[in-house]
Amino acid sequence: MERLWDIFIASILSQNIALIFILGMCSLIAVSSSIKNAFNMGLAVILVVTVTAMINWPIYQLLLLTNTMNLALLVFIITIAATVQLLEMVIEKYLPKVYNSFGIFLPLITVNCVVLAISLFFMNRDYTFLETTVFAFGSGLGWMLAIVLLAGITIKMKTISNIPRGLKGKAISFIILGILALAFFAFTGIGAI
């Protein structure tokens, strides 16, 4: 139980998937124009990451048994694409309200590297099923934290600060993320991966 708690805290703070491992940047920067969008994108990522990690773990055990680990990448990416498609259909059918708020973000997640990275990380770290689930959920939460923070700061900056012309838009997002990453280094030592 303690180990699970360690992994959970570490994956949100000291080993934050967005700010320390630098993953999922494309969508992080593209969707950070409003807090509401950022929040929805974060929720979609948490959902997809957790579900795909839970599906990929037993598949990886099967690959281990048959000694075909080289195919892991190919198999993982197909599972992810299929899962996203399936989730999209299920949510559209049964939860149309949620579907409308997710909008285009759900299909975009297939190419979000966070999802594939989680599957590759649990593979490299030999996690058990429970550890994988906790790690995936925590990482999704950490990613959501990062995108909401970035969106909040970007919006504030638009109104109160005078940004040089060339830095406007995406360039300033990098600088903000750099400072955020620096701040997250303060969490080093909390939890263990």
Partner 1 sequence: MSYIRMKYTKWYQTLKSGLSTQNPILISVLGICSALAVTNQVQNAIAMGLGVTFVIMASSATVSLLRNFIPSKIRMVAYMVIISTFVILVQMFLKGFFPTIEKSLSAYVGLIITNCIVMGRAEAYAVKNPVKYTLIDGFANGMGYTLVLVVVAAIREALGFGTIMGMAVMPAGWINWVVLSMAPGGFFVIGLLAWGMRSLTKNYEE
| Binding site residues, partner 1, CB under 8 A | 19-26, 29, 70-71, 73-74, 77-78, 81, 110-113, 115-117, 120-121, 124, 164-175, 177-179, 181-182, 185
Residue 95 or 170 with smaller CB distance to partner 1: 170
171 burial (CB, 10 Å; 0-12 / 13-18 / 19+) is exposed
Cβ 140 to partner 1 shortest distance, Å: 16
Is the Cα torsion angle 180, 185, 186, 191 positive or negative in sign?
A: positive
- SS3 of the chain: helix, strand, coil, percent, to 5: 80, 0, 20
Cβ 65 to partner 1 shortest distance, Å: 20
Residue 5 or 178 with smaller CB distance to partner 1: 178
Cβ 181 to partner 1 shortest distance, Å: 4
3-state secondary structure of 103: coil
Reduced 3-state DSSP string for 47-97: HHHHHHHHHHHHHHHHHHHHCCHHHHHHHHHHHHHHHHHHHHHHHHHHCHH
Residue 5 or 174 with smaller CB distance to partner 1: 174
Residue 95 or 179 with smaller CB distance to partner 1: 179
Residue 9 or 29 with smaller CB distance to partner 1: 29
Cα 83 to Cα 29, 34, 78, 99, 115: the distances in Å are 24, 27, 8, 15, 11
Cβ 19 to partner 1 shortest distance, Å: 7
State which amino acid sits at residue 158: K
Cβ 178 to partner 1 shortest distance, Å: 3
